[in-house]
Structure formats: C-alpha cells, structure tokens
C-alpha cells in the first residue's frame, strides 16, 4: 500500500461549508475529498479520507497508517492541534511521515492557536491556502520516498 495516503480530519471538520465560512471557506469535507481523489489519481496515488470528533480515533488511524504501509498521512487535527500530546506522541511513534494541514493560517488567528503539538512532531506543515492546502500537502506527500 505504498501508494496510499491517509487524510485524517479532526473535530468539527464534518461541518465544513457551513462552519465559519469566512475562516474555513465554503468547501465541504466531501468537496475536499473529491479534489484529493482527482489529484491522487493524476499522481498515481490513492487517498483514504476520514474524519472524527474523537482524539482516540485519530491516534488509532495514525497507527493503522503505519501498519498498512501508507506512504504518508495528511493530518488536519483541527483544535486537537493545539492541545493533544497524544497525537504528538502517536506521530513520533510511527515511521510514516505526517504532514500537518490547516485551511486557515493559525498564526494569523488567536494566540492559543500559535502552538502546535502536531507540528512539533510532523514532517512539515501546510496552512493558510483553504482547501488548496490539502492538495499542496498531497503533492508534497507524493514526493516523499
């Protein structure tokens, strides 16, 4: 499964398209998944897109990504980005590269969003480009060995 990319999404991202569109845009998570599937096909990759409002699911899916031999994980941990030592530790515990993704630029927002436990462990971060952040992260993942 070296051509598989996991795309994991955290809390409240199931509400994309209706949740604060001035910050997160009008695209739904399904819209983003469709964009990723199209671009993945062009790159000869497959994507597995998942969302959960529960931290433990994200931890389990990070472990699964390694067990399945995924090439990389794109992770938008949403609010867990700024609070989850568990996600930080899970990323550090696996060999699969994790790319942190954000629709908005956390550094242009509230101060509490400036610290990223995910980013401290991730291979890299792409943020601030709306739905295109995911596509840019997928293209970066495609270039990983």
Q: What is the pLDDT of residue 109?
A: 66
Ramachandran angles phi, psi of 94, nearest 5°: -110, 155
What residues contact residue 76 under an 8 Å CB cut-off, 6+ apart? 8, 9, 10, 13, 100, 101, 102, 103, 134
| pLDDT digits 0-9 by tens, 85-123 | 999 999 999 999 999 999 987 766 667 666 889 999 999
* pTM exceeding 0.75: yes
- Alpha-carbon Rg of the chain, whole angstroms? 14
Assign 3-state DSSP to the chain and report helix, strand, coil percentages, each to 5. Answer: 50, 20, 30
The helix/strand/coil state of 15 is: helix
Could you give the residue numbers annotated as active site?
Answer: 24, 102
Nearest Cα to 77, choosing from 94, 53, 93?
53
- Structural contact between residues 60 and 91, judged by C-beta atoms closer than 8 angstroms: no
Q: What is the pLDDT of residue 60?
A: 98
């Amino acid at each position: 499964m070296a051509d598989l990319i996991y795309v994991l999404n955290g809390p409240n991202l199931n509400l994309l398209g209706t949740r604060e569109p001035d910050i997160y845009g009008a695209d739904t998570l399904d819209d983003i998944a469709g964009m990723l599937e199209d671009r993945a096909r062009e790159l000869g990759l497959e994507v597995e897109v998942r969302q959960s409002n529960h931290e433990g699911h994200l931890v389990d899916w990070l472990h699964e990504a390694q067990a399945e031999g995924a090439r990389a994980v794109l992770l938008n941990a949403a609010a867990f980005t700024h609070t989850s030592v568990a996600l930080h530790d899970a990323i550090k515990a696996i060999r699969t590269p994790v790319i942190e993704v954000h629709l908005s630029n956390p550094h242009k927002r509230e101060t509490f969003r400036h610290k990223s436990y995910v980013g401290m462990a991730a291979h890299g971060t792409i943020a601030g480009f709306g739905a295109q952040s995911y596509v840019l992260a997928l293209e970066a993942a495609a270039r990983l060995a």
